[in-house]
Homo-oligomer: A and B are copies of this chain.
Amino acid sequence: MSYTEDNRSRYVEELKEFLRIPSISTLSENKADIRRAAEFTAAQLRQAGMGNVELIEGEGNPLVYGEWVQAPGKPTLLFYGHYDVQPPDPLNEWISPPFEPEIRGENIYARGAADDKGLTLILVKAVEALMATRGVLPVNVKFLIEGEEESGGEHISRYVASKPSRLQADAAVICDTEMFAPELPTLCIGLRGIVYGELIVKGAKQDLHSGVYGGAAPNPIMAAAEILTALKDRDGRIRIPGFYDRVRPPAPQELEAWSRLPFDEEKYRSEEMGSSALTGEPEFTLFERLWARPTLEVHGIRGGFTGEGAKTVIPAQALVKLSARLVADQRPEEAVEQIQKAVAAACPLGVTAEFRPFHCGGPSLINPDNPFIRAAADAMTEVFGKPTVYVRSGGSIPITALFDRHLGIPSVMMGFGLPDDNLHAPNEKLYLPNFYRGIDAVSLYLDIVAQG
C-alpha cells in the first residue's frame, strides 16, 4: 500500500491536531473542547469521502455519523470509535504536557493517543486510503463515533436503542483495544462490563474535634473502610452475596490457549505494573483474574483533612469512587442492587452509606468462529506476518453489548494499542508503527470481507 506509506507524515500531523484538543468528557469545563473534537472528527470523515456526515445532537455530547453505502449486495460494517479522553491528572507525572503531542522514538505521547483518538483515526484513514486510490469501497461502511466513552456513553446508548434501522449492519468494527504483545496480531473476543458509582458515607452533622468527641463520634472514613473490607476480602474475593452466581467460566480450550500466550509474568509485574506482587483471587490464573473474573475496585477516596500538617477532626463525610467489572453472564442492574444491599448490610452504627451508580455496561463475549471475526484475523495475520491470537480484555466497551442487543451484530475488536500504552495514566502513548499497520490491516479487512 504505497499510498498509505506516502501519507504517513500527514496522518501523524492530523493525529497531533486531534490530540491537541483536550476533549475530556468527565469534566464539564471541557464542553467546548468536546464540540471541537466532534467537529474535527466530522471533518475527517468528510475528507475520507464519507457522505451524510453530521453531528447527532441530543442529551450529552454529540455523536459523529458518516456513511458510504454504495456497494449493494455487499456486507455493511459499522465503525465505532470515540473522540473523548480521560482526564490527564496527575499532571506533574507527564514528561511532556498531555495535550501537546510529542514524538519520542517511535511513540507519540499525549492523552488520547491510544485511547482512542489514534485508533479511531486508523479506521478513518483506512477508508480514506481506499477512497483516494479507488474512488469506491469494497463494502458498505457506517461510522458512529461517540464523545462519552469515558463518562458513561449515555447518548450513544439511547441512540443505538432508538435508531436500529439507520445503524443496520452485519458487524461492528471497534478499534479501542490492544495487541497482546508487540508484533502479535490480536483479536479481542471478550470484554468486562462495568458498574461505576460513588459510595457516600455520612456521620455527624459537621466535622468534630477528635479529642473532644473521639470515642463517641462515628467516623465516616473508618466506616467506609469497614464497608469496603466487607465488600472484598484481603485476597481479592468479592464478598457481596450472589455476586459470582452468574459468572460463566471460560471453556477449557480457551484456558489452554491463554496458557500458550507469550507472556512473562515476572516482567509484567515488575516492569509494566511496577508492583511488588500480583494480587487477586489466588485460586485463579492471572488471565482468568484479568479477563474472566469480576472485580471490585476503589478509584478514589476523599474525606476530612488531607492538607499539609495536622488537623484533628473527625470528618462528617467520606466519598469513595467505586466500580465493579462484570463478566459474562453478570447483569449490571443486578450487580448495582447487590452492591447496594451489601453496602447497607455492612454500614456501621452512626453513619449512613449509599452507593449511587453513575453508569453501567454489560459484559460481552463473541464467538470466535464468526466469519467477520475470522476475516479480521486473516487481515491482521497478513499485515503483521504472524498468526492472530484470540484474547479477552479486562476493560469495558459497553457499546459491544448494546450492538449485540439492539442491532443483533457481533463486534470485531481489532486492537492496535500496546500493553504499555499507559491508558488512563500519565504519559499515554501510541506506537506509531502500529498506527500505520493498523491502517493497512483495516483496509485489507474490507477487501477480505467483500470477498465473503
Contacts and interface: CB of A to CB of B under 8 A. Distances in A.
Interface of A: 25-28, 86-87, 89-90, 93, 150-152, 178, 192, 194, 196, 203-219, 221-222, 224-226, 228-229, 232, 234, 236, 273-281, 286, 289-290, 293, 295, 297-315, 318-321, 323, 325, 348-352, 358-359, 393-396, 419, 422-426
Contacts of A277: 218, 349-350
B297 A203 contact: no
B299 A394 contact: no
B151 A221 contact: no
B28 A308 contact: yes
A300 to B, nearest CB: 3
B236 A215 contact: yes
A26 B313 CA distance: 13
Counting from the closest, the 9 A-B pairs by CB-CB distance are A205-B274, A211-B395, A300-B304, A26-B309, A215-B289, A225-B225, A302-B306, A214-B295, A277-B350
Contacts of A393: 211-212
A151 B348 CA distance: 31
Given A216-B289, A310-B26, A395-B211, A315 B299 contact: yes
A423 B26 contact: no
A347 to B, nearest CB: 10
A216 B423 contact: no
A211 B308 contact: no
A78 to B, nearest CB: 23
B306 A273 contact: no
A279 B225 contact: no
